[in-house]
Structure 1
């Protein structure tokens, strides 16, 4: 065993990738329909780190992994983040997380009455919320490293505890959230038989149709045409309606006339359907309503397929790299349109390293800026500021020639790789510290750290589910953002396979990082008189 330990300690990269491989193998083990997934990488790292204390790779590697993960999350969910802040559910989510964080902070400070020092109590608070920024503030403000001991005890609880809590919550509530079925755009060819609609212009007809329905093409006098705003409806006109929900198309048929399949699709001499990849930087990041086709080219965007979902073509839909665009265009212009959009499969996996470098550098710079609060001192946001910058860039999508968005496939690979490396490095580095601290500090700090964590996740979950009545997938995302560690989010995505955990994490994590930092500052200021 000594030879194995020595080999692992001399080959830190081997230990890192061994941790990743074993972690994912164990993460695939399913118990009652639930598996740890990438979260198991952390537990394997703790075990290997405890066995071979010097096997951890440099901390900078873990920080780089976390940076890639946070940046990818921010770029993808920037638009949803800012919309969520102004939504009713967004306000409830932030309130629930705020109450959970404050309750945990008060409980940790309450342990002072049991003989625990302020440094230890604030260290437990920072560790249970996995907030390195809070620990840094405590150390700088108290000019002592004492808080780091309690932090190292509570930190593994802050990562593993919420995962176990979410597992128990999922089993207790018996929530089964199936992965959403991919949205596929349905079409219907409808002949106009309703005389009351004759004479209306196409925009007037659209205002009467159910939401989520589009008109991709019209047919009159044996000719297929692109829809225009000045097109006036006549009896026996045929139009191609699109919608993700077939029930909406049934409503359109009932309103307008009768279904006549093949009237448009079987005649392609005027308009043909073409699907192209969006890879040209000139169109990526632009709203569909702002795209100007080459002169002389008549073309209409019928729908956009992003990932596994079809999206209705609307003027405000932002085109992203890797989107597959369904077009109706004259056969003579197909080559021109392919060139215009790029239509490169290779290009859909490329990302701009210039934009990635600028965005990450701007986020790191913002995180290093000292923020001074009168009466409370100075602190910095660290990687939470990077996430905020990425969210802003994700909302902007592009500025001039700088396209901040990434292809979805590249974004997923980038952030999943970053998260996996981060979990492995943190586990390997925390393993020996955790064992050593438990041996010297005794079970009392362990108990207090566990209580602090339970208050944090328990109050947050109770507020989300019982008081604000938020859906389960939204609630687990709020818990992830309140606790902060990406490992918890990785597990949450296993039990709630929707976009909500990621969106809520991106919304809650930056604001709760600020709350944790301010709480530590206020507690130290009050204690010092």
Structure 2
């Protein structure tokens, strides 16, 4: 294996991408109903590859994780701030239960197996995958007033306990959240994610990429004006309910300019555009439907427009419609209204707010006319605004550097918590002001996938060899204790969440549970199973709390173990 070690020493990135490729390949294999998943697979392969000897810079891990967690926050920012309030009490309690049960489990296991303060804290840091415990526990050990060599020994044991237990700490959380939890709930993460998304959309039909309605609401049809149906364009358009638009008229093989005053004649061919029911009903006003008439095709546009006009802010849909002259809205149809990325049901009493996004449909010149009276058009783009992305990450990482001492205990969000908070804020602000800060869904997805899987692989490459070596030296006792510390608090929290806090949706519960353990790999697998962002909001709430509560365990374990 010297040749392989030589390759990895010269180019450690090969080990990283090899772990990702083989990990996702293994992750696709099904063992009955159990499937490892790409993230867990990458962790497993990375541990195996690490036995050859791989040195990879920790900065790579920090960058990948920052990209992942920022992208998660950016995607879920709009929904997160909408979800804050009394409705978040379950997530708060879940995070508290996880921290309390984690502390109790570590203290009990330390007493049962005679672990010293250093090993106990290290097992907590690794088994609960909260690396910050290493720092808080080490600082607490330094303040015990012990001899220098004893202090150094205990602090070294923190690192040993962490190295031995961290790998299963990540892997075990995936097993509980992705495999055990759905069995307890009796429903899959994917099914409940779809159900929750449909509920959020409040009956509004939202089509995914590549989908289209079999019977679209807005259509265009051609009719030949029958004898005795001679009316003006304005009369035809207004007689329909809801109104339709006559976009083109062909008479005697020639096109004539359409105006409200134009009187249609027998054998004129007209293109009628509008809501399906009204267009179909237009046959009674016009005549027989025809097909494939040369020159009668017309390309229609859909444009998203951010509402910035102050006069529209706070007005209901009915008020806006009543105050808008027919000539202004002529030929343009409102397809959808979104607020913070969430589709709204356009009832007459719906109050429109500045920052809402309205989707307009119509001929290009008509859409352009209405858009100028409403706000700013969102220009579709596949490019990422790296000014906005970079600024968000810088702000997040700076927040992560802040340390606040409470009773002598240093509290910090860390780089992960800071990047998540910045992502939430920048994602929320982008949803309100959509003319800048573009990050297409595909870009968000690659940051999440590559960031998380790469982060986990680097952890495996860095810790795998030391973990296996330490297990050989110290036996499997520490590893076994780590397994208990990983699984027991999650099972306790899961049962309380299900039967006391009454979580009913598997996807939401899985997001909250993984966040309460700050289990990023598990959350990545939950997202992969859900195939939408439903688990993200509960994860963001419990993750932020877990970064504080679990970090506090370091000094408590040193005091109690």
State the TM bucket, normalised to the shorter chain: 0.7 to 0.9
CA contact (8 A) 1:79 1:395 kept: yes
Partners of 1:333 and 1:285 lie apart in 2 by 19
Query: Which of 176, 179, 201 is 1:167 aligned to?
Result: 179
Structure 2 equivalent of residue 155 of structure 1: 166
CA contact (8 A) 2:515 2:540 kept: yes
Change in 2 beyond 3 A, CA 1:331/1:482: closer
Structure 2 equivalent of residue 475 of structure 1: 509
Q: Secondary structure at the match of 1:223?
A: helix
**Residue 238 (structure 1) aligned with residue 236 (structure 2):** no
Query: Which of 475, 500, 512 is 2:546 aligned to?
Result: 512
Structure 2 equivalent of residue 204 of structure 1: none
Aligned-residue offset at 1:488: 0.7
Structure 2 equivalent of residue 443 of structure 1: 476
Partners of 1:363 and 1:288 lie apart in 2 by 36
Query: Which of 94, 101, 106 is 2:99 aligned to?
Result: 101
Q: TM-score, normalised by structure 1?
A: 0.74
Query: Which of 183, 186, 193 is 2:206 aligned to?
Result: 183
Partners of 1:502 and 1:236 lie apart in 2 by 45
Deviating more after overlay: 459-468 vs 491-500: 491-500
**Residue 434 (structure 1) aligned with residue 467 (structure 2):** yes
Change in 2 beyond 3 A, CA 1:336/1:469: same
Structure 1 equivalent of residue 261 of structure 2: none
Structure 1 equivalent of residue 271 of structure 2: none
Change in 2 beyond 3 A, CA 1:390/1:443: same
Change in 2 beyond 3 A, CA 1:455/1:359: same
Q: Secondary structure at the match of 1:95?
A: helix
Query: Which of 377, 384, 392 is 2:417 aligned to?
Result: 384
**Residue 360 (structure 1) aligned with residue 358 (structure 2):** no
Partners of 1:410 and 1:172 lie apart in 2 by 34
Partners of 2:23 and 2:354 lie apart in 1 by 39
Structure 1 equivalent of residue 2 of structure 2: 2
Aligned-residue offset at 1:405: 5.8
Segments of 5+ residues of structure 1 without an aligned counterpart are 190-218, 225-234, 241-257
Partners of 1:399 and 1:495 lie apart in 2 by 29
**Residue 86 (structure 1) aligned with residue 89 (structure 2):** no
Change in 2 beyond 3 A, CA 1:85/1:309: closer
Aligned-residue offset at 1:68: 0.4
Partners of 1:276 and 1:82 lie apart in 2 by 27
Deviating more after overlay: 64-73 vs 138-147: 138-147
- Per-residue CA shift, 1:156-199, capped at 9, x if unaligned? 1210112223324435655234373883478669xxxxxxxxxx
Partners of 2:4 and 2:413 lie apart in 1 by 40
RMSD: 3.9
Q: Secondary structure at the match of 1:372?
A: strand
Q: TM-score, normalised by structure 2?
A: 0.70
- Per-residue CA shift, 1:309-349, capped at 9, x if unaligned? 976567349568xxxx74234553456789963544xx2x2
CA contact (8 A) 2:355 2:433 kept: no
Aligned-residue offset at 1:505: 1.6
Partners of 1:406 and 1:45 lie apart in 2 by 30
Q: Secondary structure at the match of 1:221?
A: helix
CA contact (8 A) 1:53 1:431 kept: no
Q: Secondary structure at the match of 2:30?
A: coil
Partners of 1:53 and 1:284 lie apart in 2 by 57
Aligned-residue offset at 1:437: 1.6
Partners of 2:337 and 2:362 lie apart in 1 by 15
**Residue 26 (structure 1) aligned with residue 59 (structure 2):** no
Structure 1 equivalent of residue 128 of structure 2: 129
CA contact (8 A) 1:351 1:406 kept: yes
Change in 2 beyond 3 A, CA 1:402/1:336: closer
Structure 2 equivalent of residue 113 of structure 1: 111
Structure 2 equivalent of residue 341 of structure 1: 377
Partners of 1:446 and 1:286 lie apart in 2 by 62
The equivalences for 1:36-51 within 5 A come to 36-39=36-39, 40-50=41-51
Partners of 2:521 and 2:100 lie apart in 1 by 22
- Per-residue CA shift, 1:109-139, capped at 9, x if unaligned? 2334232112221221121221122222222
Aligned-residue offset at 1:32: 3.3
Structure 2 equivalent of residue 61 of structure 1: 60
**Residue 221 (structure 1) aligned with residue 235 (structure 2):** yes
CA contact (8 A) 2:516 2:546 kept: yes
CA contact (8 A) 1:109 1:122 kept: no
Partners of 1:318 and 1:53 lie apart in 2 by 53
Q: Which has the larger radius of gyration?
A: 2
Partners of 1:156 and 1:505 lie apart in 2 by 21
